[in-house]
Amino acid sequence: MATEFFYELKQAFNRNEPFVLCTVVETIGSSPGTVGQKMIVRRDGSTAGTVGGGINEERTRKAALDLFSCGGSLMLTYDLANPLEGGEPVCGGKSRVFIELQAHEPRMVIFGGGHIGRVLAKMAVLARFRVTLADERPEYANPELFPECVQVICKPFEEAVAEAGLDKNCHVTVLTPGHRKDFEVLEKVLPSEAAYVGLVCSAKKLVEMKQALVEKTVEQKRVDALFAPIGINLGSTTPEEIAVEILAQIVAFRNGKVLRFEK
């Protein structure tokens, strides 16, 4: 069993295939699983290995599938002391399962769900980005407006930056409805490890924004690395075409090509 599992694990890594690794990390009392048992969950819902079987293994599988859209990791705790007449496990103990997404897929985090942000989120999904979109306006941060795989955060922008969990695989686009909100986001985003940060702005706005950020002690080299105006210049005027310009720049950046907006 262990040999088969590690063969499947090796295959997943070799194919650069994203999967969720689920590991039993603790058991207390009687439990169907044992510490160290592992299971992988693929994007299509198929599995290899086991974390003990039964209803809680299925719950673990479903929780793992959620990570393909939101990323990160999660600790699941199961209480196995339940009455006989119910449908829950009755082993009498407790177990904890740690689940973590293993993926090389890039992330795109979009701050601002207006016309451009909404279209960009949908395009980025097609380009195989894991997408997070944040807006403090409920009518724009509405999950019904986006594919199911898009993580939607409806919180004040400063709080949303923290919840998004930026890392070196993130490509951040700042498309908020105003200068003040843009600044709030950039002040938090630029010191992060995000690989790419882009801002919709005019030349005049950019000069003022950079100066204000440096005055706020944001590191000069991070300010200088900002992609602003965002995207490549294709002469676009519609939200759909501007989203293409932005996505093209980010894809080029991922492939080692730095293309900046040129008049």
**What pLDDT shows up at residue 84?**
42
Which of 107-111, 117-121, 153-157, 202-206 is the least confident region?
202-206
Q: Tell me what percent of the residues of the chain surpass a pLDDT of 70.
A: 91
Domain extent listing, the chain: 2-102, 107-254
Please give the model's pTM, rounded to 2 decimal places: 0.67
Over 70: is that where the pLDDT of 87 sits?
A: no
Q: What is the CATH number of domain 107-254?
A: 3.40.50.720
Determine contact, residues 135/109, Cβ cutoff 8 Å.
no
Over 70: is that where the pLDDT of 70 sits?
A: no
**What pLDDT shows up at residue 1?**
54
3-state secondary structure of 18: coil
3-54: pLDDT as tens digits: 788 888 888 877 767 899 999 999 886 666 789 999 999 988 999 999 988 8
Query: Is the backbone of residue 229 left (phi > 0), alpha (psi -120 to 50) or beta?
Result: beta
What does residue 78 show for φ and ψ, rounded to 5 degrees?
-120, 130
**What pLDDT shows up at residue 90?**
47
Report d(CA 59, CA 62) in Å as an integer. 5
**What pLDDT shows up at residue 255?**
85
What does residue 166 show for φ and ψ, rounded to 5 degrees?
-70, 140
Over 60: is that where the pLDDT of 83 sits?
A: no
Q: Which stretches of 92-147 are assigned E, i.e. beta strand? A: 94-102, 107-111, 130-134
**What pLDDT shows up at residue 69?**
67
